[in-house]
Structure 1
Amino acid sequence: MKTNILLYGVLGYTGNLFLERALERSLPIVLGAREKELSEVAQRLGLDHRVFEICDTQSIAACLSDIRAVVNLASISYGVNRFLIDACIQTGTHYVDLAAECSDMIQVLTHHDAALARGVMLMPG
């Protein structure tokens, strides 16, 4: 059963703030990023982590087997976050984007029908 929440982009300012609140609430979190520095942060906090290439849907999907929802906190454009979205739809993982620009948020909606068919929630903004 998928129970964990993957926080992608916790090395940035917004991501760090979100991480602090998630830790205060003892949420079942896993850290995610493309930077290898993430392993130092995860080790210091005693948390599981996943480092993966953000432009490879299959690489991302392989990291989501126990993830119930992804919270994207990284300021990456739709051209890039679509791989994260596609992996979420493929694996039946919910997706929340708290960092995208308005135009990127609108692009997330182009995946609505595919997400709905898989029972996946996409929540931009």
Structure 2
Amino acid sequence: MSGKTLPTKDCVVCGRTITWRKKWERDWDEVRYCSDGCRRRAKSSASAVDAELETTMRALLDARGRSKTICPSEVARAVGGEGWQELMEPARAAARRLVVAGEAEITQGGKVVDPSTAKGPIRVRKT
């Protein structure tokens, strides 16, 4: 595959981009997770929380309107209550999944950014 652009796909749990690796040559079609952590999260009860985060994010985005943004912390607070801090990374992952589904985009400083590589504070808006 040298000299060519490597194929990519999105992690089904966190939405990060997975880039093809030589060790996955035989089973690239079965690769679904970017890490062991995402594989464990998919098999745990956390997937119910992930679904709730996505639903809440969609509801907040709908209520806010097309050109307005929300912060993942708003979603984490709405779902997690007092323990919302633990849900910050799962809320960011929910935002990445919505980007992959074409329902949202992630911005920083008002500009759309790649959700797989965004570091620091992000905002989410409806597409």
TM-score (norm 2): 0.30
Structure with more of its chain in helix, by fraction: 2
Q: Which has the higher strand share?
A: 1
Instruction: Provide the TM-score with structure 1 as the length reference.
Output: 0.30
Tell me which structure has the larger Cα radius of gyration: 2
